[in-house]
A and B are shown apart, each in its own frame.
Chain A
């Protein structure tokens, strides 16, 4: 993609991408790194065809960058973070229940397979209904439910059954 188009995309969606990265990673410097990585990929995208849904496309790239960062352990581990949540600590970052919830979900998602992650991101991070997720992913609602159940199993294994319901709280 040429620089002029990338610039236009940044002006329109750069803030949205940065905001998403910040929600997933919770650290401003890490979100800056992720924003940089996302737009490097945008500049390398050389298809002549226009991107049909730019925001969805950018979010997909951003998610990948953030989950890779979380997987590489550059961020807090799930166990550490969970302990902090229980103690009410905030690691110097502004901490709200919604922000904690999103970060917790993000850390769990980083440990999931792509199939589960794609569905769980749209449901837990983007707040879509199961039907909306099914349409966005291109599968049946039954498949969405199955993958969400697999995600909750994963969450229960990591957090304990009693805390799985926390994941559902609204973050709007």
Chain B
């Protein structure tokens, strides 16, 4: 433990991290106006030299490997693959009112443990995803159960504490869709109750593959932009790989449910 603490102290006393220097060297100049980093570099000859060296190396790299042929070759390669654009046209998460559907929904006796959350010092809240298929009564989705295009999903909440709820969907191409609430760009209040089924249902589109359903449970309302920003950051941090998405930096308890849509046999 002593070793790492000594190292940490040394890091805090020295020049900006190599990553910060790289960022300064390569990012557009407007990203670094009037920052602590730019102030340091303005006054530090060693860091200035490092920045210049990196930029010079980049110039040499681009001379040897110019952008145009590199990207053109990649584009030809990706163009030969089937376009996925049209699979998403149908998504839009069509929200249908549940009234009149005649669908029966029940809270499961054994909730999926990963769907149970609580505020610090608060009481447990249980979330459930319900699946309706081929006109059959909706039932709680089983953990890891695949879903089919055309399935209708709804959400249930049970708990002894009130809060605000926002449910989002994120697909593998970073397309964000708000599932709940459907009618306003902010989280909606949910009162404490033994069980309740949230208004609205989602008809799943034809796209196949992994997606995330991300549930935000907060003490204060969250606006659409805040949630979208947190999700986009998480997606970027995960390098665009859904299985690695972890949403952080938002004042809410977050549950990430991973679903997979497969073709009907």
Q: B236 — which chain A residues lie within 8 A by C-beta?
A: 51-53, 56-57, 60
- From residue B52, how far is it (CB to closest CB) to chain A in Å? 14
A160 to B84, CA, bound (A): 49
Q: Please pick, from B67, B239, B246, the residue contacting A57 in the complex, using a CB distance under 8 A.
A: B239
Name B131-182 residues within 8 Å CB distance of A.
Answer: 173-175
Q: A138 — which chain B residues lie within 8 A by C-beta?
A: 233, 237, 246, 248-249
Considering only CB atoms, which chain B residue lies closest to A61 in the complex?
B239
Q: Please pick, from B11, B50, B67, the residue contacting A10 in the complex, using a CB distance under 8 A.
A: B67
User: At the interface, yes or no: A74 with Cβ under 8 Å from chain B?
Assistant: no
A-binding segment of B18-26, B118-126, B185-193 = B18-26
A-binding segment of B2-10, B105-113, B206-214 = B2-10
10 CB contacts below 8 A, A to B, read A10-B67, A19-B57, A47-B175, A52-B232, A53-B236, A60-B238, A64-B239, A127-B11, A128-B19, A172-B21
| A16-B58, A53-B236, A55-B27 as given contacts; A45 in contact with B11, CB under 8 Å | no
Interface of A toward B, CB cutoff 8 Å: 3, 6-7, 10-16, 18-19, 36, 39-41, 43-47, 49, 51-57, 60-61, 63-64, 114, 118, 122, 126-130, 132, 137-139, 145, 148-149, 152, 164-165, 168, 171-172
Secondary structure at the A interface, as helix, strand, loop or mixed, is helix
Q: B80 — which chain A residues lie within 8 A by C-beta?
A: none
- From residue B229, how far is it (CB to closest CB) to chain A in Å? 8
A168 to B2, CA, bound (A): 12
Considering only CB atoms, which chain B residue lies closest to A55 in the complex?
B23
Pair A49/B23 contact, Cβ less than 8 Å: no
A128 to B238, CA, bound (A): 19
Pair B22/A6 contact, Cβ less than 8 Å: no
Considering only CB atoms, which chain A residue lies closest to B7 in the complex?
A168
Closest 6 CB pairs of A and B: A138-B248, A126-B19, A60-B239, A47-B174, A15-B58, A15-B61
Contact with A along B67-82 (1 / 0, CB 8 A): 1101110110110000
Q: B238 — which chain A residues lie within 8 A by C-beta?
A: 60
User: At the interface, yes or no: B34 with Cβ under 8 Å from chain A?
Assistant: no
Q: Please pick, from A47, A60, A127, the residue contacting B18 in the complex, using a CB distance under 8 A.
A: A127
Secondary structure at the B interface, as helix, strand, loop or mixed, is helix
| A36-B74, A39-B71, A51-B236 as given contacts; A16 in contact with B22, CB under 8 Å | yes
Pair A14/B62 contact, Cβ less than 8 Å: yes
Considering only CB atoms, which chain B residue lies closest to A11 in the complex?
B67
Pair B67/A171 contact, Cβ less than 8 Å: no
Q: B249 — which chain A residues lie within 8 A by C-beta?
A: 138
Pair A129/B19 contact, Cβ less than 8 Å: no
A56 to B26, CA, bound (A): 11
User: At the interface, yes or no: B101 with Cβ under 8 Å from chain A?
Assistant: no
Pair A45/B174 contact, Cβ less than 8 Å: yes
Pair A43/B248 contact, Cβ less than 8 Å: no
Name B51-110 residues within 8 Å CB distance of A.
Answer: 54, 57-58, 61-62, 65, 67-68, 70-72, 74-75, 77-78, 84-85
A164 to B1, CA, bound (A): 11
| A39-B74, A47-B173, A127-B17 as given contacts; A18 in contact with B239, CB under 8 Å | no
Pair B71/A10 contact, Cβ less than 8 Å: yes
New A-B pairs, 11, CB < 8 Å, besides A49-B174, A129-B17: A11-B62, A13-B26, A39-B71, A40-B78, A41-B240, A46-B174, A57-B240, A126-B17, A127-B18, A129-B8, A139-B248
A7 to B75, CA, bound (A): 10
User: At the interface, yes or no: B199 with Cβ under 8 Å from chain A?
Assistant: no
User: At the interface, yes or no: B219 with Cβ under 8 Å from chain A?
Assistant: no
- From residue B246, how far is it (CB to closest CB) to chain A in Å? 8
- From residue B25, how far is it (CB to closest CB) to chain A in Å? 8
Q: B244 — which chain A residues lie within 8 A by C-beta?
A: 114
Q: Please pick, from B11, B71, B77, the residue contacting A129 in the complex, using a CB distance under 8 A.
A: B11
Q: A126 — which chain B residues lie within 8 A by C-beta?
A: 17-19
